[in-house]
Chain A
Amino acid sequence: MQSGTVPVVLELLDICKSFGDNRVLNDFCLTVHEGEFVTLLGSSGCGKTTLMRIVAGLEPPTSGRVLLEGADMEGVGPEKRNINMVFQNYALFPHMNVFQNIAYGPKLKKLGKAEIAARVDEMLRLVQMQGFEKRMPSEMSGGQRQRIAIARALINNPRVLLLDEPLGALDLQLRRQMQHELKNLQKELGITFLYITHDQEEALNMSDRIVVMKDGRIEQEGSPAEIYDHPRTSFVARFVGSANVLQGTVKEISEEALLLETPFGCFPCSRDGMAAAVGESVTAAVRGENIAILAEATAPCHLTGVVKEKTFAGGMLRIVVKLGEETEMVISRQGINIEYAIGEQVALEWPACHCVPVDRGDGR
């Protein structure tokens, strides 16, 4: 958590945006502290790009305010805001070479030729693209253009750097590499990054804070660990790290945990400070890597099901277990095979601490 002494660099107050009848952003509020790496995470259409454009000044909000270092940005054009954006398609000027592209901002500020040259040189070193000064954008690969776009934005020393899914067009290897580089760059420069992605892995890897968005609203906000281990809604649980979401009725209550009853057995769930009563319906989420598959149940509270599918994906074994007609659970573990065949009955168990209640409706 940020300490109170770190200055607030960007504040978004009740931002609403509608395009005609279409409401894209609903009373969006966000506070960004200096030096933070904040990621807006969500699937397409959730409004994250629109929000970023509002922050950049490319779109006006229908209502709400944007405060940059305390100053109200209403009526202030993008060129006057000390914010720069790295576009999804890089938007490098095709009629200018690398040097001219990067020098564009400083040139507008009418800096001296020598100073501009020095700054551009520094930026190229930063993004490891020295020697590329005379190249044209059309002569470079996607990854190279990416770096030039970043250099072009950073040279202006923006208070906030906006990045709109910058790694979306790159292949997996390159993407992973760039994630590292961007994170290091951010740490080195200490510039506040506001980052957009739909890739939860990326968000978890790079961010200081993740803001999960859905339908123009914030679903949950917090550090990667918080988001991952303590999702508050079933949406977040499923979106980040694909958890299993189950519903059950409260059977037993203890100080730290609950026992929830389902048609296929019962399972434990941590209370996480929640008030509960026996017979109440509770939705809980548990991650596939925390579930144990056993031939014989060891705990009295367990779920029973039938192995339906086994696939090996992304270095992990993914097992689908069917409970009843409609419900399925996905378990993931290392290794290439399990000792249970398809169609075999198995028991599923996990400790209470790995299961969290979601969709509590109490705003937490």
Chain B
Amino acid sequence: MSKPSVGTKKRDFWWMCVVPLYLFTLAFILGPMIYMVAVSFATNNPSGYGFQWIFTLENYLRIQDPTYLQCFRQSFELAFSTTALTILIGYPYGYYMGRLSPKGKKLMMFLVMVPFWTSSLIRLYGWLILLQAKGVLNGLLQALGLIEDPIKMLYTYPAVLVGMVYALMPFMILAVYSSVEKMDWSLVEAARDLGASPVKAFWTVTFPLTLPGLLSGVILTFVPSMGLFFIADLLGGNKIVLVGSLIQDQLTRGSNWPFAAALAVLLMAMMTLMIVVYRKVTHVSELEGRL
């Protein structure tokens, strides 16, 4: 009886590990997605309960209503604004973090990570306490004599933006940081030596080389910001209707699963399209391969 060679044994073991993963992905990720796409073509029962497996396009046609389109538009607007702000604040933060001493880096990393130890919902409530009419910020401003009556900060678009940026900032920071950390600083010195001012050296050397980090940070921020509707609900007083809230609404109160599914499918399709275009335009794969 011949013993199996080491090669095949290793391969069998590898198969054993990988097959469950595949099954999991198929059952819990691919499966539900296919179901959702199927449901989006079903017909809702007029009574409002349940749906029939009768093919229809009405769910998608219904989305053309200006109210729903406005909702999509607002969601994208918010996602763009959030991403832009996280870049403006997160890139410098991640950059400086990457240039600190090892001790400084550890400290900053700790500061970025600590909020994750609390649930994001609770942290959002923290913002409520800060921004309320009788909250900390208003109290401070009044105590300093800068304002008489409290400013109505909550339940506005800026409040929602603040909440979103706050929630997604760590992802941008970490993405940028990981790129900056790997940076070969002698390249910046070479640029300086060849005649570049510090600003020029940054834009021609540092920025292009940390771009992959920034770009992955953009994806990490943009994609979730389309879905974090609970932030908009909480800090926006349910006045800012995002696609996510719309879907939730249709699933529960509206009892229109097919329509909700159609909305979700459309959202997913648009996001995928945007990411594909984004990757092409920024040649991310090239940058990723090069370094």
Contact = CB atoms under 8 A, between A and B. Distances in A.
Contacts of B192: 57-58, 77-79
B189 A108 contact: no
A149 to B, nearest CB: 8
B187 A91 contact: yes
11 contacts: A57-B192, A77-B198, A78-B193, A79-B195, A79-B200, A79-B201, A91-B189, A94-B187, A95-B209, A108-B194, A156-B194
Interface residues of A, number: 24
A77 B190 contact: no
B191 to A, nearest CB: 7
Nearest to B192: A78
Interface stretch (A82-90, A216-224, A317-325): A82-90
A109 B205 contact: no
B184 A91 contact: yes
Chain A CB count within 10 A is highest, among B186, B194, B200, B209, for: B194
Interface string A161-195: 00000000000000000000000000000000000
Contact of A93 (B187, B197, B287): B187
A138 interface: yes
A85 B191 CA distance: 10
Interface of B: 184, 186-187, 189-198, 200-201, 204-205, 208-209, 287, 290-291
A136 B196 contact: no
A93 B188 CA distance: 9
Give the secondary structure class of B's interface.
Answer: helix
A105 B290 contact: no
A57 B189 CA distance: 10
Given A87-B190, A89-B186, A104-B191, A94 B291 contact: yes
Contact of A95 (B190, B200, B287): B287
Nearest to B291: A94
Which 3 pairs show the lowest CB-CB distances between chains A and B? A91-B190, A105-B194, A108-B195
A65 interface: no
A79 B187 CA distance: 14
B195 A105 contact: yes
A95 B195 contact: no
Given A89-B186, A108-B200, A136-B290, A94 B209 contact: yes
B190 to A, nearest CB: 4
A84 B287 contact: no
A87 B194 contact: no
B189 A87 contact: yes
Interface in A50-91: 56-58, 77-79, 83-85, 87, 89, 91
